[in-house]
Amino acid sequence: MIAKIEKKLDHYYYHQFMGAVLYGVILAIALNYFWKPGHIYSSGFTGLAQLIDTLTHGRVSVSWGIAAANLPLLLIAALKLSKRFAVFTALAVILSALFVPVFSTSIVLTPDPLICAMFGGALNGMAVGTALRFGVGTGGLDIIGMLFKMKFHTKVGSVNLAFNALIMVGAGLTYGWQYALYSIIGVVVSAHFIDVFYTRQQQIQEMIVTNKPEMMCEHIQQKMRRGVTIIDSAHGGYTGKDKAVLLTVVTQHELGDLREAIHEVDPHAFYSESKVEHTGGRFFEPEP
């Protein structure tokens, strides 16, 4: 039993480590191959580090800016979120700071700022969203976003978008206002891809029609930490048989486990899914 638990923990930490590595590599590629040649500023603290690098004429590099700007938030993450989350976030920040000069290149794939903004934003959103999905923070605004989400149930990508006005003004003053507009496009694309890849924050309401409500409820609660509401006395309009309707809310990340649980108990159960904009009350949020 103990060996099984240790194996599961090792597997979990392996995914977190790989999430940190992937984030560092993808961010470095986005910065060196798209943002720099396109004169595009990123969102969040990476964009702030780019702005500091520009204003200091390279005396404070992007790598140093990323590391220095994130230090206070890493301390906050350790206190307010979790120490484990803070450790892997620190790893992601350090790796991204190290990989930026490693992937530095003189190759220009395209000088088109619109293409650079869109592809750089997509890569950044994919990197951040994937890291968060594996329980790894990337520092900066995603920590602030997670704190806002815990408090106000606000999506991470939307919070990031709201905090980037200053960076866009810096882009406009430095390269010209057309590049600020291109950077805004990159930020919007990045925010969208964060919400696409960070499936833990996307909530799905599941309605299940079955003639095995008690077994279904028990199996779902055993498989995942989710409550189920049973509505008795439902009646099939076509079959004429009595049924029960079950309602539960899960995250997109848990949807596969829920479908598996439904199929294991009642392969003939009817179920439908719909996106949830907001939940109140006691909806369990897993530790980051």
Domain CATH number, residue 256:
3.30.70.120
Q: Does a structural domain hold residue 216?
A: yes
pLDDT one-digit tens code per residue, 40-60: 888 778 888 888 888 887 788
Q: Is 137 within 8 Å of 88 (Cβ atoms)?
A: yes
Q: Is 276 within 8 Å of 223 (Cβ atoms)?
A: no
* 172 class by beta-carbon count within 10 Å (0-12 exposed, 13-18 middle, 19+ buried): middle
- Claim to verify: residue 108 and residue 128 sit in the same structural domain: yes
- Claim to verify: residue 192 and residue 210 sit in the same structural domain: no
Q: Does a structural domain hold residue 194?
A: yes
- Claim to verify: residue 80 and residue 195 sit in the same structural domain: yes
Query: Across the chain, what does the average pLDDT equal?
Result: 79
* 51 class by beta-carbon count within 10 Å (0-12 exposed, 13-18 middle, 19+ buried): buried
Q: Is 195 within 8 Å of 155 (Cβ atoms)?
A: yes
Q: Is 69 within 8 Å of 93 (Cβ atoms)?
A: no
Q: Does a structural domain hold residue 134?
A: yes
- Claim to verify: residue 124 and residue 223 sit in the same structural domain: no
Domain count across the chain: 2
- Claim to verify: residue 145 and residue 262 sit in the same structural domain: no
Q: Does a structural domain hold residue 174?
A: yes
Output the six-digit token pair for 15.
Answer: 């995914």
Q: Which long-range contacts (CB under 8 A, 24 or more apart) does 272-275 make?
A: 272/206, 272/207, 273/204, 273/205, 273/206, 273/207, 274/204, 274/205, 274/207, 275/202, 275/203, 275/204, 275/205
pLDDT one-digit tens code per residue, 154-177: 555 556 666 677 778 877 887 778
Domain that holds residue 218: 202-276
- Claim to verify: residue 37 and residue 129 sit in the same structural domain: yes
- Claim to verify: residue 193 and residue 63 sit in the same structural domain: yes
C-alpha span between 180 and 197 (Å, rounded): 26
For residue 33, the model assigns a pLDDT of: 92
- Claim to verify: residue 189 and residue 255 sit in the same structural domain: no
- Claim to verify: residue 152 and residue 272 sit in the same structural domain: no
- Claim to verify: residue 141 and residue 91 sit in the same structural domain: yes
Q: Is 152 within 8 Å of 146 (Cβ atoms)?
A: no
CA nearest neighbour of 118 among 176, 162, 183:
183
- Claim to verify: residue 194 and residue 246 sit in the same structural domain: no
pTM (predicted TM-score): 0.68
Final residue of a structural domain among 175, 200, 225: 200
pLDDT one-digit tens code per residue, 122-147: 998 888 888 877 777 777 776 777 67
Q: Does a structural domain hold residue 282?
A: no
Final residue of a structural domain among 200, 233, 266: 200
- Claim to verify: residue 194 and residue 244 sit in the same structural domain: no
**C-alpha count within 13 angstroms, C-beta hemisphere, residue 149:** 26
